[in-house]
Chain A
């Protein structure tokens, strides 16, 4: 599905952010990407849709080599990749509906998008996605009128509006409280399961990553130092990723309350 082969990135400043990263993600797999700040997590997922240009290596999505595309083809490839951002990255002065519909921009000619003339299918899809994330009645509100959790759910709807083949998720819970964080993660996970959608979730909360991913990749100083199941994430592994720390103590502090919550239940709560 997605294959990264020997991807490296050196910034103009000379910082080597990625070092020969090789990995493969199969359909429907949710990958948690963990690592200390500055390990290259954000760079890695931005290399995939080339918001950051990789210096070396190839990235293949399906049968397209993303690194060799010209600008027009790159835009067409980006339509297939949904992205969810840290701090939501909604356009604050636009309505919720415009934000969700902006997921269709790659498919709509400029003059139509200028006059906000989206096709009936696009609009119906946007409404259904907003309904799925529990914001059915908020479509005409301005994005900056929503709470953090609500904004991130609009962000999820925008990414899904693209009908993507792959989700890139950059620190989705960075500025959310623990409970909302879990709800957002559940929502992303449910969306992936429904659509058999692979996702790379870049996240610094190890416990959340463990709880919601099928597979964990640990990045340290631009290199993959761990690639395995969430269960295999032992204290030794965490030490190789992050360096020394009292992991047992940390785990004890953060023991997730194992209630049987689901995305559906969250929405019923109306948070």
Chain B
């Protein structure tokens, strides 16, 4: 039997050798150490059960509020908040996309000369180094309360996000297609238009829609620090202990995110 002789001449057991910690002693020391740390860490947590009990009661009121969402009492506030948020979302996404296309192209190493590349990369880094809320706090201080500060915040954040991913997409382009267009004597703009744009277009559309999705959700968050929109309405509702109105707002946010999610995946497929 050839199979039998095979199992006799060659080893039949194989185990993947450890990659990270090759020394068995260290493996054991680290495992035991982690366990000890976990036990000690859990013991340091103080739980005030009385507070948990009180909190549960409040939490239950919250849940009850959500179970009977009240769309009508504060409908005007909710309506204006929503319109503000949606306006902020759309305008900031469009502005963000328009600004990040040139910056993204400039930040692609295979298209831009070194000085332009560095300039665009630093814009991206600057935009990406702050969380939306921090930018919103700054811009609210600069431009006052309201959706304009929100619009600026979301635009600024979109630029960092979209430019970086667009630049990476351009750098990943098939080089031979770029070379082929360049070899015909095409100018730099023509190379961008004929060789790069067709390659990155579906991804750009997908990223823009995804960013729109993010911008809507962020617009709800930055409202809490005064940048207008549905977040401001939500914040007011919670401050007034109107959990039923807050519940209505959350349900609306979830519904809108779902709609954006489904429509964007549909549009992406269409742009392939």
**Interface, chain A (partner B; CB < 8 A):** 49, 51, 75-79, 81, 83, 85-87, 89-94, 98, 102-107, 110, 113-114, 155, 158, 162, 168
Contact = CB atoms under 8 A, between A and B. Distances in A.
Which of B186, B195, B201 has the most CB atoms of chain A within a 10 A radius of its CB? B186
Closest 5 CB pairs of A and B: A106-B185, A79-B185, A105-B186, A78-B185, A89-B180
Given A75-B186, A162-B184, A89 B193 contact: no
Contact of A78 (B183, B189, B198): B183
B184 to A, nearest CB: 5
Which of B177, B181, B182, B189 has the most CB atoms of chain A within a 10 A radius of its CB? B177
23 contacts: A51-B183, A75-B185, A78-B182, A78-B185, A81-B183, A83-B184, A86-B176, A87-B176, A89-B174, A89-B179, A89-B180, A91-B180, A92-B174, A92-B199, A94-B194, A94-B198, A102-B184, A104-B184, A105-B190, A107-B185, A110-B187, A114-B193, A162-B185
B249 to A, nearest CB: 42
Contact of A92 (B185, B187, B190, B198): B198
A219 B226 CA distance: 71
A76 B185 CA distance: 6
Contacts of B186: 75, 102, 105-106, 113
A105 B198 CA distance: 16
Contacts of B177: 89-92
A49 B179 CA distance: 11
Contacts of B198: 91-94
A102 B193 CA distance: 11
Interface residues of B, number: 21
Contacts of A83: 180, 183-184
Given A78-B183, A79-B184, A105-B181, A85 B194 contact: no
A86 B177 CA distance: 11
Interface string B141-179: 000000000000000000000000000000000101101
A130 to B, nearest CB: 17
A89 B184 CA distance: 12
Nearest to B193: A114
A69 to B, nearest CB: 11
B195 to A, nearest CB: 6
B85 to A, nearest CB: 35
A113 B181 CA distance: 12
B184 A158 contact: yes
B185 A91 contact: no
Contact of A105 (B174, B179, B194, B199): B194
B176 A89 contact: yes
Which of B183, B193, B201 has the most CB atoms of chain A within a 10 A radius of its CB? B183
Interface in B181-229: 181-187, 189-190, 193-195, 198-199, 201-202
Interface string B114-134: 000000000000000000000
A158 B186 CA distance: 13
